[in-house]
Amino acid sequence: MNFLKKITRRSFIKKGIIAIVSLELIYLFVNLLRKSGDAQTPANLFEAGDIDLFEKGKVYPYSSELFYLSCLKDGGFLAISTKCTHLGCTVNFQKKEDKFLCPCHASAFNKHGEVLAPPATRALDLYPITISKNKIWVDTSKPQRRNKYDQSQITYA
Ligand code: FES
C-alpha cells in the first residue's frame, strides 16, 4: 500500500513537472510566433493605400500622419515629413508652384524635399516606406533626418 502511494506521488510529481514544462514551452512558442508576425506583417505601419491609386508626379497629403506621399515621375515614392527643418512649422504643398512652402519664414522645398529657398538649410525629413502586397506602408514612428536628397532614398515597387 505504501509502495502504491509512492508510485502515485512520483507519478503525480512527474506529471506536474511535465505540465509546467509544457506550459512554458507553449508560452515561449506563442511569444515567438507573435514576434515573428510583427516583423513580417506591417501591423505597426500606416497604410497609405494601394500603389495603383497614386499618379506619377503628384503629391498626396496625410495630414493626420504628418507626412506627404510624393509619387515621383519615375514611379518611385518618398514619404516626406510636414515639419519644416528650419523651426518646425508645418509646410504646405502648393500645387500651382509644385513645391512645399513654409508659412512661417518662407522656406521652400521641391517634391524630393530638397531646399529651394532658405532659411531652412537641410531637406525635409523622410519616413521609411515599405511596399508589400501592392500597398504602400509608411513607418511614421521613425522620421529620418537627412541633410540632402539622394536617389537612394526613393522606394520603388
Ligand atoms: S519654420 Fe519654416 S522657414 Fe522657418
Distance between Cα 45 and ligand 1 center (Å): 28
* Interatomic CA distance for residues 75 and 31, integer angstroms: 39
- Residue 90 grid coordinates: 508645418
Give the whole-angstrom CA distance, residue 157 versus residue 155.
Answer: 7
Sheet containing 46-50, strands listed edge to edge, beginning at the edge strand earlier in sequence = 46-50, 135-138, 129-132
Ligand 1 atom nearest to 102, measured from its CA: 2
pLDDT at 59: 97
Q: Which pLDDT belongs to residue 41?
A: 46
Question: Among 81, 84, 93, 109, which is best to mutate for testing ligand 1, by the most ligand atoms less than 8 A from CB?
Answer: 84
CATH number of 46-153: 2.102.10.10
CB 101 within 8 A of CB 86: no
| Residue-by-residue pLDDT tens, the chain, 157 positions | 555 566 676 676 677 666 666 656 555 554 555 555 444 445 568 999 999 999 999 999 998 889 999 999 999 999 999 999 999 999 999 999 999 999 999 999 999 999 999 999 999 999 999 999 999 999 998 899 999 999 999 999 8
User: In this structure, what are the phi and psi dihedrals at residue 81, rounded to the nearest 5 degrees?
Assistant: -65, 145
Which atom of ligand 1 is nearest to 106's Cα? 3
